[in-house]
Amino acid sequence: MAKKQIFFLPFMLKQAREHRNSGAANTKTDFRFMLYKNNAKTLLATSAIVSWLLLLVYVLLTAESTVTGASVPSFAFPFLNNLLIVVFIVSVFLFQRLHTEMLKGMDFIGYLWNLFSRAGVAAYLSVALYLVYRVYTNYAEEESSLLLHLVYQVNFGLMVLFLGKAFYIWRQLLLYHKNKFLQIAWDWFELLLAATLLLTIFNFNYTSYVFLPLLALIGFYILFLCTNMKWVAYLTFNNKSRSLVLLGAILLSCYIFVRFFRAMANSPELVVDYTDVGFLLLAMLFVGTYTLAAFLVSLFSLPTSSVFEQKSEDLLNFQRLSLSIQQGQSEAQVYDMLVESTIKASDASAAWFEVVRNSEPQVTHLLNIKEPQIKSIRHLLQAYNIHNMDYINNNLGRNPGFRGLGLAWKSMAILPIKSTKHLSGVLYLLKDVEGGFDQETVNVLRTFTSQTTLTIENLRLVNESLQNERYKEELKIATQVQESLIPKTFPTDSWFEISTHSVAAKEVGGDFYDFLQLSESRIAIIIGDVSGKGISAAFHMAQMKGIFHGLMQQDMAPSEFMKQANSALSRCLERTSFITSALYIIDYRMKGFMFARAGHCHTLYYNSMMDNVFYFQTDGLGLGIIRDDKNYAGHIREMYYDYNPGDVMVIYTDGIVEARSPKNEEYGEDRLLYMLEQTYHLEADDIKYAIINDLNDFTGPGNLYDDQTLLVIKFRPTQPNI
């Protein structure tokens, strides 16, 4: 007894254990459900083992009693016997049902291998067991009824295991790509089959005429179910050959069990006969039929599998091509994919691909062909005036020109990668058979080329928009840099007011201004205008700001500053660029300011003492015009001026005075001077607003051609006591 347990137990327990392991790996799914499932499985495994053992004990006891002749007790409970059988079968089947539900995915060979290695081998074990039994009886020269019963019982257990496993693995495959109808059909099949167990419980003989039509009906039902094997189509040629071997082995397992139990059927030595269990017969019928059908379908679809493989590969390649846009692949990679896919799809014996750049072909891919051969073919095509055209020739031998080249190829396909206006490349495919490019192949090839055209076109568009985006981004950065270069706040003090206005015509302008507190009573203010616009202007602005802060740390006179700035800028400004600038150093302790003008607009000034508005007419050459230090020194003038409380200074760039009206008139210095004459008594802010409002009235809306900068400084009448 103990021996049998050892044989049987590890088999069950191993499955149960593996189950738990695979369950643990899958904790992503509902953990509680897993727990329930594991518990259910443990319960089912236990009930299977217990029922099997009880059945064994029962069978052995019955056999013992028939041998000794002391009859009766066993046949007193035929229902118990049948009940145990049903419990065992149900437990094993339910266990396998739960077990196979874990299997997922498209690894069909994995399913088959699982079935064979876990269950199919049971048949071979049962054969071995039976052989051992026969050898033993031959050796011992006596028939042992008990031993026979034991072997029979073990084989029964193994068969049920095999059937359960096979049944549910076939279910998994049968329901692959299922629809609702198939699912319902299968559920009914399972129910019907389960119902036949009732026959066993109530000990009906299923072979009776009452049930035969019903059984026949189920048989047809099984045949119908066995037509569902879509999974076979997904096997590649190699997988099909492997599955044939596995299916053959499983078929053999079926045969062994059938053979064994048929041989033992109605044996007078045995007290039980499991062929009486209609359920097992039907399950075996299903498993056997499905295995046989799968075997035959695999066998006969073997020659056509390469076609399906090609089709599914074509499909995958299409997918890769269209995905390549999202994956940011380059044109070269797309062409790689095209050449590889089309050669495979057409089974071409030679091919080349040329990229067309500036209408010059440039061979990038070669297969089984040499440059001179390409050259001669290209010459011929040019002579016929069919180069770079969609062209298929399936009988090159008939063409005298091509025959003259003495090349081995018999058919040829030319496929240009061409959008409506742009030819990006041409694909040439050659085959050494006549009629190599049939309509079906050409259709696939054209689909590839049009997909490639689309991909290339899209890649270009994506690149262009990226470039545009990058340019905009750069401009945005330049604008930010420029904005950061212009001070947001001026120092406020009781002795002067300052108000500023600044707008850029384009994203990046060339105007700038800045200030630096030189000492407690002195402040330097600079204004400037860089010739040109855009990013280079922003760069020069940054340079100018650097020069201003660098040089003014040494606290120098404005004219000296201009000389040194000219010298510094001469070394870095391009030949056509220059900068105009004006620098003011205001000293409120001395109540005066010193300034120098380097080509910048004249300073507008209101003198409160004389009640007079005027421009300071001083000479001064722009920076970067004369790039020779000594020469420049003669072109810069410095001026000192004492201011009075109430005086107003207006500093601006040419964008103000050169602003134009819709009639193309310039705003001009005169109008600016007139504006100050009208407004000098106002606060600095109000003077500024008055001028800007007048300017905007003059130009009209949306008429900004140049950057505009305006600084209004008003010296306050009330001076602080220092």
Looking at residues 505 to 524 of the shown chain, list those that interact with another protein (rule: CB under 8 A).
510
Sole residue written with tokens 């048949």? 123
Q: Give the C-alpha separation, 395 to 389, whole Å.
A: 18
Run of H or E residues at 679 = helix 668-679
Under rule CB under 8 A, residue 563 binds another protein: no
Sole residue written with tokens 């539900």? 101
Q: Which stretch binds another protein (CB under 8 A): 189-197, 302-310, 376-384, 576-584?
A: 576-584
- Alpha-helical runs (H) found in 141-179: 145-174
Nearest 5°: phi and psi at 510?
-115, 0
Q: Which stretch binds another protein (CB under 8 A): 13-21, 485-493, 550-558, 614-622?
A: 614-622
Q: Which stretch binds another protein (CB under 8 A): 204-212, 487-495, 530-538, 691-699?
A: 530-538
Binder of another protein out of 429, 526, 622, 651 (CB under 8 A): 622
Binder of another protein out of 524, 598, 651, 695 (CB under 8 A): 598
Under rule CB under 8 A, residue 126 binds another protein: no
Measured from the Cβ of residue 444, the count of other Cβ atoms closer than 10 Å reads 18
Q: Which stretch binds another protein (CB under 8 A): 50-58, 134-142, 267-275, 571-579?
A: 571-579
Binder of another protein out of 378, 600, 688, 714 (CB under 8 A): 600
Taking a C-beta distance cutoff of 8 angstroms, is the pair 528, 540 a contact?
Answer: no
Under rule CB under 8 A, residue 620 binds another protein: yes
C-beta of 654: minimal distance to another protein in Å?
Answer: 8
Under rule CB under 8 A, residue 575 binds another protein: yes
Q: Which burial class, exposed, middle or buried, applies to 527 when counting CB atoms under 10 A from its CB (0-12, 13-18, 19+)? A: buried
C-beta of 624: minimal distance to another protein in Å?
Answer: 8
Q: Report how many residues bind another protein under the rule CB under 8 A.
A: 26
Binder of another protein out of 621, 651, 659, 687 (CB under 8 A): 621
Under rule CB under 8 A, residue 541 binds another protein: no
Binder of another protein out of 200, 580, 581, 708 (CB under 8 A): 580
CB nearer another protein, residue 354 or residue 529: 529
Instruction: Identify the CA nearest to 115 among candidates 277, 243, 255.
Output: 243
Q: Give the C-alpha separation, 189 to 364, whole Å.
A: 60
Under rule CB under 8 A, residue 602 binds another protein: yes
CB nearer another protein, residue 32 or residue 575: 575
Q: Which residues contact 710 (CB under 8 A, 6 or more apart)?
A: 500, 501, 502, 650, 651, 652, 653, 656, 688, 691, 692
Instruction: Identify the CA nearest to 55 among candidates 91, 80, 90.
Output: 80
Half-sphere exposure of residue 667: CA atoms within 13 angstroms, side-chain side: 28
Q: Give the C-alpha separation, 164 to 149, whole Å.
A: 22
Looking at residues 249 to 268 of the shown chain, list those that interact with another protein (rule: CB under 8 A).
none
C-beta of 697: minimal distance to another protein in Å?
Answer: 21
CB nearer another protein, residue 97 or residue 637: 637
- Alpha-helical runs (H) found in 1-107: 2-25, 31-68, 78-100
Binder of another protein out of 460, 635, 671, 716 (CB under 8 A): 635
Looking at residues 325 to 364 of the shown chain, list those that interact with another protein (rule: CB under 8 A).
none
CB nearer another protein, residue 165 or residue 600: 600
C-beta of 591: minimal distance to another protein in Å?
Answer: 28
Under rule CB under 8 A, residue 576 binds another protein: yes
Under rule CB under 8 A, residue 627 binds another protein: yes
Taking a C-beta distance cutoff of 8 angstroms, is the pair 256, 284 a contact?
Answer: no
Instruction: Identify the CA nearest to 529 among candidates 543, 501, 509, 558.
Output: 509
CB nearer another protein, residue 427 or residue 659: 659
- Estimate to the nearest angstrom the gap between the alpha carbon of 432 and the chain centroid: 40
CB nearer another protein, residue 27 or residue 576: 576
Binder of another protein out of 101, 187, 619, 677 (CB under 8 A): 619
Q: Which stretch binds another protein (CB under 8 A): 30-38, 109-117, 417-425, 575-583?
A: 575-583
Q: Give the C-alpha separation, 220 to 285, whole Å.
A: 11
Q: Give the C-alpha separation, 462 to 465, whole Å.
A: 5
Under rule CB under 8 A, residue 532 binds another protein: yes
C-beta of 681: minimal distance to another protein in Å?
Answer: 28
**N-terminal to C-terminal alpha carbon distance within the chain:** 118
Under rule CB under 8 A, residue 599 binds another protein: yes
Taking a C-beta distance cutoff of 8 angstroms, is the pair 88, 160 a contact?
Answer: yes
Q: Give the C-alpha separation, 255 to 287, whole Å.
A: 11
Sole residue written with tokens 């089974």? 347
Dihedral Cα 308, 311, 313, 318, nearest 10 deg = -160
Sole residue written with tokens 């369950």? 23
Q: Give the C-alpha separation, 203 to 276, whole Å.
A: 9
C-beta of 552: minimal distance to another protein in Å?
Answer: 22
Binder of another protein out of 126, 531, 559, 603 (CB under 8 A): 531
Q: Which residues contact 52 (CB under 8 A, 6 or more apart)?
A: 8, 88, 153, 157
C-beta of 695: minimal distance to another protein in Å?
Answer: 17
Q: Which stretch binds another protein (CB under 8 A): 283-291, 405-413, 438-446, 573-581?
A: 573-581
Measured from the Cβ of residue 357, the count of other Cβ atoms closer than 10 Å reads 10
C-beta of 709: minimal distance to another protein in Å?
Answer: 14
Taking a C-beta distance cutoff of 8 angstroms, is the pair 448, 345 a contact?
Answer: yes
Under rule CB under 8 A, residue 540 binds another protein: no
Under rule CB under 8 A, residue 652 binds another protein: no
Binder of another protein out of 44, 601, 656, 684 (CB under 8 A): 601
C-beta of 672: minimal distance to another protein in Å?
Answer: 13
Taking a C-beta distance cutoff of 8 angstroms, is the pair 596, 638 a contact?
Answer: yes
C-beta of 317: minimal distance to another protein in Å?
Answer: 50
Taking a C-beta distance cutoff of 8 angstroms, is the pair 249, 116 a contact?
Answer: yes
CB nearer another protein, residue 178 or residue 506: 506
C-beta of 621: minimal distance to another protein in Å?
Answer: 3
Nearest 5°: phi and psi at 438?
-80, 170
Binder of another protein out of 151, 625, 675, 676 (CB under 8 A): 625
Run of H or E residues at 387 = none
C-beta of 576: minimal distance to another protein in Å?
Answer: 4
C-beta of 622: minimal distance to another protein in Å?
Answer: 5
Run of H or E residues at 573 = none
Under rule CB under 8 A, residue 529 binds another protein: yes
Which residues of the chain form contacts with another protein (CB under 8 A)?
A: 510, 529, 531-533, 575-578, 580, 598-602, 619-622, 625-627, 635, 654, 666, 668
